[in-house]
Amino acid sequence: MSEDTAPLASVVIPAFNAGAYLEEAIRSVLEQDYRPLEVIVVDDGSADRTAELARSFGPPVRVLAQPHAGAGAARNAGAAVARGAWLAFLDADDLWIPHVLARLASVLAGDPQLGLVYGQVVEFREIGGKVVEKPPATGLLPGATLLRRSLFDRVGWFDTGLRVGEFVDWCARARELGMRSASLPEPVLRRRIHGENTGVRERSARADYARVAHAALQRRRESGR
């Protein structure tokens, strides 16, 4: 695909007190060799320099601000103003690996029946000034996924009643609608592990995963599948 014919890719970054990592996350998107793209940072009620850092990039980075409502609500807010035919959601503390956006987009463009494509994830943490990485593993995470806007519109918004697991819930609903997906064998995302990860910060909300599984089971029962 040439830049003249390639669909616009909208990258939504929900950010809550993400000043320590946000700049690196945004740069990992802007340094991709795919164009055209737009970056939408949703400041989810941060008390640090999150919004200031995001605005310092200028176009093509746009910044939205909302009272703190959680990652699902922030992703919804970004998606509501996104203009692209491709849609991606990158967490503010994670990093895209170079060239992955073009790779993911080429797979989607090559098969109109695909709703989304995702790749492998490399988890890393910084310990004593050193970076320690785990081997790549397949993971259907927001930041490792590129999806069609048309699929998102069909499935609907993220469930804002979930403090964790909202992407798992969204994917379950997409599968129930017959979504087709593809998985790449190579890493596309570097996932940063640290003490303020949402899964760590929201330990008390881990029961949401059980709610997601129960809701999916209930929908299957009601549909007779």
Q: Is the pLDDT of residue 190 over 90?
A: yes
CATH of the domain at 54: 3.90.550.10
Evaluate whether residue 79 is within a structural domain.
yes
Torsion from C-alpha of 50, 52, 53, 55, nearest 10 degrees: 120
Evaluate whether residue 1 is within a structural domain.
no
Which among 199, 145, 196, 188 has a CA at the least distance from the CA of 170?
Answer: 145
Q: 45 vs 23, 49, 196, CA distance in Å?
A: 17, 11, 16
User: Coil, helix or strand for 5?
Assistant: coil
pLDDT band at 201 (very low <50, low <70, confident <90, very high): very low
Residue-wise pLDDT tens digits, 11-68:
999 999 999 999 999 999 999 999 999 999 999 999 999 999 999 999 999 999 999 9
Evaluate whether residue 4 is within a structural domain.
no
Q: Name the domain count of the chain.
A: 1
d(CA 32, CA 102): 8
Instruction: Please state which of the ranges 84-98, 121-135, 155-169, 186-200 shows the lowest mean pLDDT.
Output: 186-200
Evaluate whether residue 101 is within a structural domain.
yes
Q: Cis omega (within 30 of 0) on the bond before 36?
A: yes
Average pLDDT, the chain: 90
First-to-last C-alpha distance (Å) of the chain: 39
Evaluate whether residue 114 is within a structural domain.
yes
Evaluate whether residue 3 is within a structural domain.
no
- For the residues of 194-222, what is the DSSP string, one character each? -TT-HHHHTGGGTHHHHHHHHHHHHHHHH
Rounded to two decimals, the pTM is 0.87
Evaluate whether residue 198 is within a structural domain.
yes
Q: Could you list the residue range(s) of the whole structural domain that residue 147 is in?
A: 9-223
Task: Check residue 140 and give its pLDDT.
Answer: 87
Evaluate whether residue 83 is within a structural domain.
yes
